[in-house]
Amino acid sequence: MKDITKKIVTRITAFKQDAYVEPDAGSNSPSIEEFALLLSGISSCRKTPGIDIHMGYEHLYLCNEEKAGIVREHLYKIYNITDRDSLIDVCNQLYSTDHDLSDFRSFWNNNPAFDISELNEEARAFFESCMEYSKNFNNLTGEGGFYAWDCNEIIGLLRVGYAAKLITKDEFWSIVLPMAKNAAHLYKSWKDYATGCLCGCAYFMFREQGANEEIMRFF
């Protein structure tokens, strides 16, 4: 493990041990819909052209037609998203870190999900590099794995898609509510969820930068 990765693991470990979490609010707990929107807390803080204010966590944000056009242009430029189907495809293909971790764990448990010999030399080297890197965070994430990062990013991107009128409210909730229920099952606290987000983000950046560990210095 390189020094930069050691520092990342050390700081996330310290966060998990020391981060303060507000006590349970009891009767003031959010509805399942509000909880689902809160799961996109990190991604919802990013600025998106056409969305002039923070979208909040109490309801879905919807742009007027002029602003929606700006958002759609941004989604096409960054993700090549043009409609409902391409939006969902990007969510599933790009934010798949927990699926990766599930594959890695199958190898660590001597029950591989696929035959690694079927990969060509380049693909196998990349897979093994990603698997080795993700091992640094395996004990930190626990049962929840990297699902928190995928959840945060997918819900956030779908919120932007809804704001741009690429999906309907019913389509949004049909995808997001099952994710929220799964997150509630996997994570015992917001601290655990945040830890999963941090670990998943670190792995995601490593993977998306071609398994280049030096790029992680910014993290």
Q: Which two tokens stand for residue 13?
A: 């470990």
Structure confidence at residue 30 (pLDDT)? 87
- When pLDDT is cut at 50, 70 and 90, the band that residue 22 belongs to is low
Residue 17: the pLDDT is 87
Burial class (CB in 10 A: 0-12, 13-18, 19+), 154: buried
pLDDT at 25 over 60: no
Q: What is the pLDDT of residues 42-58, one digit of tens each?
A: 999 999 999 999 999 99
Q: What is the mean predicted confidence (pLDDT) over 164-174?
A: 98
Please, what is the average pLDDT of the chain?
Answer: 93
Average pLDDT score over residue span 117-143: 95
Whole-model pTM? 0.92
* Distance separating the N- and C-terminal Cα atoms of the chain: 15
**Tens digits of residue pLDDT in 178-199:** 999 999 999 999 999 999 999 9
